[in-house]
Homo-oligomer: A and B are copies of this chain.
Amino acid sequence: MRTLTVDLGDRSYPIHIGGGLMQQGDLLRPLLRGRQVCIVSNETVAPLYLERLRAALPAEASVLDVILPDGEQYKNLQQLNTLFDALLEARHNRTTTLIALGGGVVGDMTGFGAACYQRGVDFIQVPTTLLAQVDSSVGGKTGVNHPLGKNMIGAFHQPRCVLIDTDVLDTLPSREFSAGLAEVIKYGLICNEPFYRWLQQNLDGLVARDKVLLAEAIYRSCEDKARVVAADEREGGLRAILNLGHTFGHAIETAQGYGQWLHGEAVAVGMLMAADLSARLGWLAQSDVAELRELLGRAGLPVSRPADMTVEQFLQLMAVDKKVLDGQLRLVLLKALGEAVVTSDFPLPVLEACIAEAA
């Protein structure tokens, strides 16, 4: 087991990474403030891992399960309310601990539920997808989608702990696995060129799910994420670089209907579009863009945006992004490999050409 710390003063917490961690009750037990525990999972993950996690909880714990439907299209206020119904019916109080057992959707909803239930209770992340392990479970961004925009309703609410059991990746479908690799590649692009080069060398081993390589990739991703979050918890500045490709990607997810494209797939195409725009601005070489396209392809990720979306539709959906300030669209772009910036310093026609040609 390796452990990292997200350094946020009195809201600091550990990220434990290793095989078989879900069975280790000693990691969970000291974190429970009261006897009440609510495991939130989904219909896909619960049959695989719910009993394993439950067995690791103290015998005296009073455990409630809430099983949500699986998919980004269910990440909304209405589903969140079913969690509140269950907690209130079981009379969970302020000392309850919510445990998110699932991917990014379960983690985001559980975290937001924990942020709002009785004005805030504890929660623990037990991410079961690669994407959640390297990205969404760390950093305290929680929330739900709105028909008019992704993650528009939410809160910053840090977990008490992130427990990354790498064994669960054995059962992850390959499409989901690839989606996770998109966020891994993101860290190399935005802030860690050596890691990007390492990924270029080791991607085939990662795709083959080599345990040693996977643990290393997860550790290095979480290390980058923890550093950025510690420097800028509430996204006043630096943290926005973690959204490389996300403004393009969210437009794709919103236009296609939540759940059609996986988040990581949309981010992959979005990163390629951001790299392409960066190259058009003279910051990256065209060969960097070509290499990224090749890397994403090897990872099993899409490299073209949906052909049925118009440039106009992209621009409209991107205009509701949370990074928009006083009507000005801002994007995360790359000044170089491993060096992201947030900028509105690009000509609109160049952005339009970039979107048009990404199909």
Contact = CB atoms under 8 A, between A and B. Distances in A.
Contact of A35 (B81, B94, B326): B326
Contact of A148 (B89, B116, B120): B89
B115 A149 contact: no
A34 interface: yes
Interface in A47-103: 77, 81, 84-85, 88-89, 91, 93-95
B152 A88 contact: yes
User: How many interface residues does chain A have, given as a range?
Assistant: 35 or more
A211 interface: no
A119 interface: yes
A320 interface: yes
A34 B234 contact: no
A153 interface: yes
A95 B326 contact: yes
Interface string A224-248: 0000000000100000000000000
Given A88-B149, A119-B156, 10 more contacts: A34-B325, A84-B146, A84-B153, A88-B152, A93-B325, A116-B155, A117-B152, A118-B154, A119-B143, A120-B156
12 contacts: A34-B326, A35-B326, A84-B153, A88-B320, A116-B153, A116-B154, A117-B152, A118-B322, A119-B143, A119-B154, A120-B156, A155-B155
